[in-house]
Chain A
Amino acid sequence: MSKILIRGAKVLGGEPQDVLINGEVIEAVGTGLSAEGAEVVEAAGKVLLPGLVDLHTHLREPGREDSETVLTGTRAAASGGYTAVFAMANTFPVADTAGVVEQVYRLGQEHGYCDVQPIGAVTVGLEGKKLAELGAMHDSAAGVTVFSDDGKCVDDAVIMRRALEYVKAFGGVVAQHAQEPRLTEGAQMNEGIVSAELGLGGWPAVAEESIIARDVLLAEHVGSRVHICHLSTAGSVEIVRWAKSRGIDVTAEVTPHHLLLTDELVRTYNPVYKVNPPLRTERDVLALREALADGTIDIVATDHAPHPHEDKDCEWAAAAMGMVGLETALSVVQETMVDTGLLDWAGVAQRMSFKPAEIGQAKGHGRPVSAGEPANLTLVDTAYRGQVDPAGFASRSRNTPYQGRELPGRVTHTWLRGKATLVDGKLT
């Protein structure tokens, strides 16, 4: 059994402590722990967090291995401090059967960089017409508990209602990509002052808000829980806040990019800023930060969406939507939430590990940093500041909106069940 002593780390940002890993579990947490027989990682000044959990990742395999594979995506995840990712269902073929989800699950296990928990499609082929075999996916080796047609909205109210009801039988949750399709035909960016000037098709906030409003009411009516993907507007925050105050079982996520970037960037017509839902306004960004701080928004999820270079090196309308995010998420959260004083590191752990693991029922993840728990850990050098250089990404894709931007924080070590996947910023 290999032992690792992480010495002097600020556990969840608190007082410096030693953490002793023995095999796959944390053996002890305390001060002055013996280093005997253990490899020592000096962590003075660094922050130790539970391994991060991403409820919203696109790994692209099967089907678009030119942009990402389970291997490259999980290496990117480990690089960013993640020990578990939930892989979205919009692959080719779509993850709407037990066969596809088992394949993705198995690939994650084989590579060993990060646990991969597949998300199953709500409807066959993401077409929104017919429920996929949700129970079969749950009963498979992949044990799917989160279902989403992400990329597309389950816009048919009856299908949504049935899905919400049906997954109660096995404790599943439906994660909604809230986008009213008719209101967003031809949509290219946030509808507002900038879209009016640039002549790009608008994606109005109401297209997101109206679906969220409908779905929280549906969830209340049938007594189910619902999760809202990548919430992006101030109005959506108000609706979720209202729903929670009413006791509706709703959780919501926000992406790092919606916490930092605004639609003003679209003036460059550089498709690296093209994403769905689109970048919104400064007012929305501030509302999202506040909501993440006060708990209205439960978690940060990356919506890591890799695309090959050619799908971004073109005119705006022809470009694919999405940005990679796994390797920059924690830095953006530090920049927008920690360094601004809105959250402490315990709050970050809650929103990037404990809570996403709870929503997705990721076994062994999002556990406290204490004796007897699985050794899924992330060590962060929070004093670091540096420019984002996509050339160093582990992801197969480079479509980051942060190229050249200076951001704080750097993950130096990641451990998955006691096995180091990242050491001194280098993948093992």
Chain B
Amino acid sequence: MQRHLISAADLTRDDAVQILDTAEEMARVADRPIKKLPTLRGRTIVNLFFEDSTRTRISFEAAEKRLSADVINFTAKGSSVSKGESLKDTAQTLEAMGVDAVVIRHGASGAPYRLANSGWIDAVVINAGDGTHQHPTQSLLDAFTMRRRLVGRDAGIGQDLSGKRITLVGDVLHSRVARSNVDLLHTLGAEVTLVAPPTLLPVGIETWPCEVSYDLDATLPKSDAVMMLRVQRERMNAAFFPTEREYSRRYGLDGDRMAKMPEHAIVMHPGPMVRGMEITAEVADSERCTAIEQVANGVSIRMAVLYLLLGGNQPAVTHTRVEEK
């Protein structure tokens, strides 16, 4: 595994399976009365958030704390960044305080890559979402959720997603979740189909390892999982689609459409959901929708990533032995 986690495309199949397997072990910690491991005691991690994202930051923070790391939260708003301080200065300042890892969320595509490769800092860099580029831990938690639901919690250990048919629907053009998922799911052997109006698909998509369709209804019966991507209402002002209603009619998931999916198929959403836009409340609140489960899985995945990137060669989770005592 590489030293940093910048893009889902950097993970090999074995890297990814190792992360998913480790996350299963981490998940068991969450079932214990004391949800804490000593693994990263004495290590300092900064959550460097240049973009508002309460849910991702909280998820990382929970993961870091469960691994006993010291956590520093840094948000750009109200900081020296809003007074014109550069990414480089901010990162170097934090590192001078003895940070071992930087979890970075940034509005500019490539900012984590720059941080990891420009020689500015030595710390491990974990991408928590950059612009419209990548969000690797999101795709890992999505894959984790799929493996649990479609292969099985125990049966899934050591397995990938070979042959699973995954459909992503919505604003692919502006979505780092879509890019990360296409890369990771392909690596894990899944067959990915992207469904969107042509305006919300990037020029140049033809080289991506996936199928592209404009027809949601035709794709649903052939899907083991359908992931709905958030569509921001502002997009219609830039003529990406005529109206919210038209978008919902053609690309939104409602109860009728959900009924076209195979019995076992799940509905996923990375959140935050725009109810009434890409997904109806009926679907969002149904048994088949894994949105809440994905949030819980996010903590396990982030624990696994932090452990594998920062824990070095120490034994993995030792809680089984702790329990034995």
Contact = CB atoms under 8 A, between A and B. Distances in A.
Interface of A: 188, 191-200, 202, 204, 268-270, 310, 313-318
Q: Which of B111, B205, B206 has the most CB of A within 10 A?
A: B111
Contacts of A270: 114, 118
B204 A317 contact: no
A317 B87 contact: no
Contacts of B113: 269
Contacts of A317: 107-111, 131
A308 to B, nearest CB: 12
Given A313-B88, A316-B108, A199 B205 contact: no
A191 B201 CA distance: 12
B108 A198 contact: no
Contacts of B202: 195-196, 202
Given A310-B86, A313-B88, A200 B179 contact: no
A146 to B, nearest CB: 34
A200 B207 contact: no
B203 A204 contact: yes
B132 interface: yes
Interface of B: 86-88, 106-111, 113-114, 117-118, 130-134, 176, 179, 202-208
Contacts of A197: 179, 204, 207-208
Given A268-B117, A313-B86, A317-B109, 11 more contacts: A199-B130, A199-B134, A200-B131, A313-B118, A314-B86, A314-B114, A315-B87, A315-B108, A316-B109, A316-B111, A318-B108
A210 to B, nearest CB: 15
A170 B118 CA distance: 51
Given A268-B117, A269-B113, A318-B108, A192 B132 contact: no
B88 A196 contact: no
User: Most B CB atoms within 10 A — which of A191, A196, A317, A318?
Assistant: A196
A315 B204 contact: no
Contacts of A196: 202-205, 207-208
11 contacts: A197-B207, A198-B110, A199-B133, A199-B179, A200-B131, A202-B202, A314-B88, A315-B108, A316-B108, A316-B111, A317-B108
Contacts of B117: 268-269
A313 B203 CA distance: 29
A187 to B, nearest CB: 12
A133 to B, nearest CB: 36
Given A193-B204, A196-B203, A269-B113, A315 B176 contact: no
Contact of A191 (B107, B118, B132, B204): B204
Contacts of B110: 198, 200, 269, 315-317
Contacts of B207: 193, 196-197
A197 B110 CA distance: 11
Given A198-B110, A314-B87, A315-B108, A192 B204 contact: yes
A316 B133 CA distance: 12
A193 B111 CA distance: 20
B203 A315 contact: no
Contacts of A268: 117
A195 B110 CA distance: 11
Of listed A192, A269, A316, A318, residue having the most chain B CB within 10 A:
A269
Nearest to B130: A199
A199 B109 CA distance: 6
Contacts of B118: 270, 313
B204 to A, nearest CB: 3
Given A191-B203, A191-B204, A192-B204, A200 B88 contact: no
B176 A199 contact: yes
A350 to B, nearest CB: 37
A310 B84 CA distance: 12
Contacts of A269: 109-110, 113-114, 117
Nearest to A204: B203
Contact of B109 (A191, A192, A198): A198
